[in-house]
Amino acid sequence: MSSLELHLKIAGIALIILGFSHAFFGPRFQWKEELARISLLNRQIFYVHTFFIALVVVMLGVLACFYTRELLAPTHLARIILSGMVFFWSCRLLIQFFGYDASLWKGNRFHTRIHILLSVFWIYLVIVFGWALWHQMQSDLDLPVVSTIHIN
């Protein structure tokens, strides 16, 4: 197994753990008490969106962990998926610094540690999926491209 394959599997396992850990966010962040103040519709939208974020994170983890060779195979689809993953995790990294007010973590040891840990994790994901994309770009892709779709 190459280093890249190993890192994709590690990233995949970490994403699966992160996705399932969403089940424990509610009690940790006291969502029941916090969300009691908003309308039923907004509360349910919040829970549904949280579920689907967790589901997507688990699915990305499964893809990286169990379909590593397919992600590294020189195909257009693999390049598109890896490009999407680099974009997705790059956006998440930017949100870590520009989407959260620094007052939420500055001055609080625990929150500062979590902020640093997550920042390092998002950087790691961008590097690993970027490395895989770079690996893809190095391969010669002389695959036929289907440019016409016929609909009757």
Asked if the structure places residue 74 within a domain, the reply is yes
In the chain, the amino acid numbered 26 is G
Cα separation, 89 vs 95, in Å, equals 10
Q: How many domains does the chain have?
A: 1
Cα separation, 97 vs 114, in Å, equals 13
Asked if the structure places residue 113 within a domain, the reply is yes
Asked if the structure places residue 34 within a domain, the reply is yes
In the block, tokens 């590294």 appear at 72
Long-range contacts of 52-55, Cβ-Cβ distance < 8 Å, separation of 24 or more: 53/22, 54/19, 54/20, 54/22, 54/23, 55/19
Cα separation, 69 vs 8, in Å, equals 10
Asked if the structure places residue 72 within a domain, the reply is yes
Note whether 20 and 54 are within 8 A (CB): yes
Question: Residue 55 belongs to what domain range?
Answer: 3-138
Tens digits of per-residue pLDDT, 64-84? 999 999 999 999 999 999 999
Asked if the structure places residue 148 within a domain, the reply is no
Both tokens of 106, joined, read 């500055």
Tens digits of per-residue pLDDT, 86-143? 999 999 999 999 999 999 989 999 999 999 999 999 999 999 999 999 998 888 665 5
Q: Is 132 exposed, middle or buried (0-12, 13-18, 19+ CB in 10 A)?
A: buried
Asked if the structure places residue 115 within a domain, the reply is yes
Asked if the structure places residue 146 within a domain, the reply is no
Asked if the structure places residue 105 within a domain, the reply is yes
In the block, tokens 């640093």 appear at 116
User: What's the whole-model pTM score?
Assistant: 0.87
